[in-house]
Chains A and B, each alone.
Chain A
């Protein structure tokens, strides 16, 4: 957690369901610091994927504000890492292909040496192409990559917390294209029926998937209405690449927990955000930058914390 020298009141993001304004313990200076971390995380993403000549930079860049906010501000977590997550918040990544952003924030918040980011997708690495527990990488609690499974797993963890009277929360992120997997809707139905209200699901709503825009590949329709119709408290973050908006949205989501309904945050992001030629297209979903492109990308991202 960052230092909290004084209270800072902020205006909540535009959401239909917002019921009350609130006070969030974060300062302007803290937000500046989170933005600086995010810039370094983006460098880590570009460098991991370009060095491996493999991986998924686009979605990773688009979710950088979220991961930075989660690991450096929102989550109650301990980098000493207990797999059961007892007494702390737990995070599960369902769209495992955006592993580079997760690996970066895990390393930079102390779960494993930052230098290990150089091993991403290489032989004998703990940083598998998609996150795995098999090699014992701290911070990972379940493998993901084959899509559609993370929400179910998160529900299981949330149920366990309820059984154990653990008041902490479970957070999970899924892609928007991932919502095309049927298992996700099984999980939606379950969570509402069983009132899993200690769970915050976040959807990376970037409108892109590997084969193109979701609207062209397989329309998702009215996502907020669909989640609400399944019995969820459906919130939105209009600007998921604005640190302040992400913090506001997550704070609001947390306020809606414990009220008998599972909570979803539909977070609009731009795939590839932060690098001008990578932003807003599906092209960099699973394609990495070559040497010249890497230089151009890194030229747009200040090295704030030192490269790995």
Chain B
């Protein structure tokens, strides 16, 4: 199973979003798109060209964009907002909270350039708190797909689901390893490799890092079970409990602060239901900085080696 997880090439998850948006736009005429002056970055050109009357350029005014999206949704449209993850969450948190979450609007908040892998722009833009912010909002679904194909499928799937969604993806070209034209099931964790020694729960770009780490660990005789937690909320609790009841130790991996992210969510579940030793591969209460994506993952403890090291550590704590 692990051997079959191979990269067929590199493409960005934001390109997957653009492809998915065009597709859902074709399928459902109620889908509309909004962008705050980042059309090229969000890869929204195909949608805009095909459906110009269903696209709204908002300019650099993200708070207004979220309010307009809430109004469009009120009248029955399915708005997809597009901007960087930073401007999709922290900048507009109160708008997300009142006009969208509390009012239960069918708005799809689509957020690119999340995390350290945004790279050279540096910490002002490398948001590492967005998963935490959005998963705290009652009623929000939080989706973080792992590669181009899955981001395309997720972009389509969230349009078929009623309710507010935060869809997080990234900037860099990244290995593509999930199936083309897959069916994306919100809330259902994706089992990538079965194993018996340690469970690795990863999300977003870190899923590929987990796969690479598991391959290295296999050479040392360590058997890793890898789950792609593409839906942070609602968490697939059954899948997590099932895996941990077998392996009895856990590594989580995410391009996010340790506080508030996927690791927190899984720790909360396990503390209540199935306590187990756990290691967290995540940014540890720090801002990022300018650099190349892989350099940054290395410096901030999110490299393939860091995931493997976390697995080795947690195995020593296993009873």
A interface vs B, CB < 8 Å? 83-86, 90, 92, 132-134, 141-146, 148-161, 163-164, 182-183, 186-187, 189-190, 193-194
The 16 sampled A-B contact pairs (Cβ below 8 Å) are A84-B76, A141-B103, A146-B94, A149-B63, A149-B94, A149-B95, A152-B95, A155-B71, A156-B72, A156-B73, A157-B71, A157-B72, A161-B75, A183-B61, A189-B59, A190-B58
Complex CA–CA separation, A212 to B52 (angstroms): 47
* A142-B71 in contact (CB<8A): yes
The 5 closest A-B pairs by CB, nearest first: A156-B71, A152-B67, A160-B75, A186-B61, A186-B64
Asked if A190 contacts B75 (CB within 8 A), the reply is no
Question: Which chain A residue lies CB-closest to B34?
Answer: A156
Q: Are B67 and A187 in contact (CB under 8 A)?
A: yes
A190 to B68 Cα, complex, angstroms:
10
For the complex, give the distance between the alpha carbons of A163 and B32 in Å.
Answer: 10
Main SS of the interface on chain B?
helix
CA distance A186 to B76 in the complex (A): 23
Looking at the assembled complex, report how far the CB atom of B54 sits from the nearest CB atom of chain A, in whole angstroms: 7
Choice from B59, B73, B77 contacting A190 with Cβ under 8 Å: B59
Q: Evaluate contact between B98 and A146: CB separation under 8 angstroms.
A: yes
Smallest CB gap from A161: residue in B: B75
B58: A residues at CB distance < 8 A: 190
Using CB atoms, name the residue of chain A closest to B64: A186
**CA gap between A193 and B64 in the complex, in Å:** 13
In the assembled complex, B99 has its CB within 8 A of some CB on chain A: yes
* Cross-interface CB contact of B63 among A145, A150, A157, A183, cutoff 8 Å: A183
B residues contacting the other copy or chain, number (CB 8 A) = 32
Residues of A within 8 A of B69 (CB): 156
Q: How far is the CA of A97 from the CA of B108 in the complex (A)?
A: 28
The interface centre, meaning the residue of A84, A132, A151, A153 with most chain B CB atoms within 10 A of its CB, is A153
Report whether B64 and A160 are in contact in the complex, using a CB–CB cutoff of 8 Å: no
Asked if B71 and A152 make an inter-chain contact with CB atoms under 8 angstroms apart, the answer reads yes
Verify B59–A141 contact, CB threshold 8 A. no
- Give me 15 other A-B pairs in contact (C-beta within 8 A), A152-B65, A155-B64, A160-B71 excluded: A84-B74, A85-B75, A134-B102, A134-B104, A146-B97, A149-B70, A152-B68, A152-B95, A156-B70, A156-B79, A159-B71, A160-B72, A164-B75, A189-B61, A190-B61
| Residues of the B chain whose Cβ atoms lie less than 8 Å from the Cβ of A151 | 67
Among B32, B67, B74, B103, which residue has its beta carbon within 8 angstroms of that of A85?
A: B74
Query: Which residues from chain B contact A85 at a C-beta distance below 8 Å?
Result: 74-75
A291 and B61 alpha carbons, distance in the complex (Å)? 47
- Point out the residues of chain B lying under 8 angstroms from A153, CB to CB: 67-68, 70-71, 74, 99
Asked if B53 CB lies within 8 Å of chain A CBs, one says: yes
Q: Decide if B99 touches A163 in the complex (CB within 8 Å).
A: no
A92 to B67 CA separation, bound complex (whole angstroms)? 12
Measured between C-beta atoms, what is the minimum distance from B205 to chain A in Å?
32
List the B side residues contacting A152 at CB < 8 Å: 63-68, 70-71, 95, 99
